[in-house]
A and B are shown apart, each in its own frame.
Chain A
Amino acid sequence: MTDLYPTIGLEIHAELLTKSKVFCTCSAEFGGEPNSRCCPVCSGMPGTLPVLNHTAVEYIIRAGYVTNCEISRFTKWDRKNYFYPDLPKAYQISQMPRPVCLNGYVDINVNGTEKRIRVNRIHLEEDAGKLVHDDATRSSLADYNRCGIPLIEMVTEPDFHSAEEVVAYVEKIKLLYKYAGICDCKMEQGSLRCDVNISLAPKDAKELGTRAELKNLNSTKAITRAIEYEIYRQSEIIESGGKVLQETRRFSDTTGETTALRSKEDAHDYRYFPDPDIPPIIFTEEELAAIKQALPEMPEQRRERYISQYGLNATDADNIIGDKDICDFFEAAIKAYDKPKTVANFILGEFMRRINLGEMSMDSLKFEPADLARLIELGETDKINKNNYKTIFVEMIGSGEKPDAVCDRLDLWVKDDTSAVEAVIDKLIADNPKPAEQYRNGEQKVFGFFMGQANKALKGQATPNTIKAVLEQKLKG
């Protein structure tokens, strides 16, 4: 039995973060009451015409630049014709022979190994509406709010050979698109959607096997499961002497299996032809240079800055950059308190811990970056004892209360009232004559015991330096 080797290609659809739809002026926001974000154009009324959104074109060019694509100087739009109730015009405006972006690549890192994935093309098209199925009345209800949301479709070459590589690529694309400011990449909301083409063949085979196209992959976890299931399913077929059919298959999150949607035999003949309502575009070198110039700072550039300017180590820099929302939070926080390393430590420590515990999420933070900056500043300037960070932070997470207000309310300000400290320490030494004796006999390690007890008794109302100084003085007697 020869080893079967999977070959995988991806189609990634991403909804662009424009304010208006790609061919009309309706809001491109997610959601809304059914058909409340529609107009005669996006609902396909007779006589209406599409007018292309400038920013959608800018954003697909950004997508091209961040994935090392060539940008076509001449680009045009085509109609993809098919009947479906979520497509009110019965054609989707898309791009066939002249996409905006061609021949790019993206480097991924899987278990320490660099790998280059080739991008075949990226084109701009319009999203379709949504259907809700109603069993009771045997009908489907169509909502066109999503019709006309700008969508870019990236097609890769079949350069992947494992689910791990695919996931690494999808994560990388999410990162690039988010930093480019063109997509929020929320797979669960469908703003980033991934179709997987997968085939199996013996490793040294000259030709690829017959591929299946997997749809409905709403998370990177679903991608992994679907690929693994499909490798299993196709190998079973091949090893038992059967033939894999070229078909579209739907992945089910509940069963973890894929099932056939339609086979290629009854595939559509989409009758692509140039859309006569949308003139082609010619770009000048100056226009493209300006778009490139206006690209937001990308992860690589931030990483460089964090290491060389802020003195972060590579791992810390990568960890902060790995999540754009956290990274943006970090950027905003250090604008309020210019100690990048300190702020980074807090974010990579307590801040991330609370996120990982599920106690807070970047989507619904109740406090501002400046509030976190203030908390760290209070600790760094000995206004509060750092031991109280957690107490204060938990309050901020829960209610958004400002750190100063929390300290007022819970009486957490460092008083540095030496006489109060002396009183507490005097009592401590009196209550623990034996350890005090040991210290005086040169057993330095019991000092830690006294520090701990003093801190506890003083509840962070004095700085550790003050406590330490008083303790040393008193213990020496």
Chain B
Amino acid sequence: MDTATLDHISELSKLNFTPDEKNVMLAQMTDIIELMDTIKEYDITYDDTKDHNEVRYDDLRKDIPAPSFPTEKLQQNTSPRDNCYVVPKMME
């Protein structure tokens, strides 16, 4: 794995690394990808219709609403304002 790829994947993951951390991570990820690369030699294709884990239409949840959760309890792990979750201002 090269630095550019690591940067791209870190961006997708919303993770930052210091230069030192990045060096360690780069080496480790390179080892890991090397292990993963061994599957490339195995010639096999995926057919999603053969997973056989489907359910039937009639087994789906019936459309019956139930009372929602108490807002205060739902937000007991954060500090809401006006019952809303607070984030730094988003630019459009």
Indicate if the CB atoms of A144 and B14 lie closer than 8 Å.
no
Q: Which residues of chain B are near A296, meaning CB under 8 Å? A: none
The 8 Å CB contact of B65, one of A27, A43, A133, is: A27
Q: Which residues of chain B are near A39, meaning CB under 8 Å? A: 68-69, 74
A-B interface contact total, Cβ < 8 Å = 132
Q: A20-B66, A57-B57, A279-B53 are in contact. Are A141 and B48 (CB under 8 A)?
A: no
C-alpha gap A269/B9 in the complex (Å): 10
Which residue from chain B places its CB closest to the CB of A41 in the assembled complex? B69
Indicate if the CB atoms of A287 and B57 lie closer than 8 Å.
yes
Q: Which residues of chain B are near A269, meaning CB under 8 Å? A: 12
B2 within 8 A of A: no
Indicate if the CB atoms of B68 and A26 lie closer than 8 Å.
yes
B40 within 8 A of A: no
Indicate if the CB atoms of B89 and A53 lie closer than 8 Å.
no
Q: Mark B52-76, 1 if CB is under 8 A from A, else 0.
A: 0111111011111110110100110
A35 within 8 A of B: yes
A138 within 8 A of B: yes
Indicate if the CB atoms of B14 and A83 lie closer than 8 Å.
yes
The smallest beta-carbon distance between B24 and chain A, in angstroms, is: 25
A258 within 8 A of B: no
Indicate if the CB atoms of A27 and B83 lie closer than 8 Å.
no
Q: Which residues of chain A are near B89, meaning CB under 8 Å? A: 133-135, 138-140
Which residue from chain A places its CB closest to the CB of B55 in the assembled complex? A279
Instruction: Please provide the 5 A-B residue pairs with the shortest distance between their CB atoms, ordered closest to farther.
Output: A141-B84, A55-B63, A54-B60, A25-B66, A20-B65
26 intermolecular pairs with C-beta atoms under 8 Å apart:
A20-B63, A20-B64, A20-B66, A25-B61, A33-B71, A35-B74, A35-B84, A36-B83, A38-B69, A38-B71, A39-B68, A43-B74, A53-B63, A74-B49, A85-B90, A98-B48, A133-B89, A135-B89, A140-B87, A140-B90, A141-B86, A142-B84, A250-B92, A282-B57, A287-B57, A287-B58
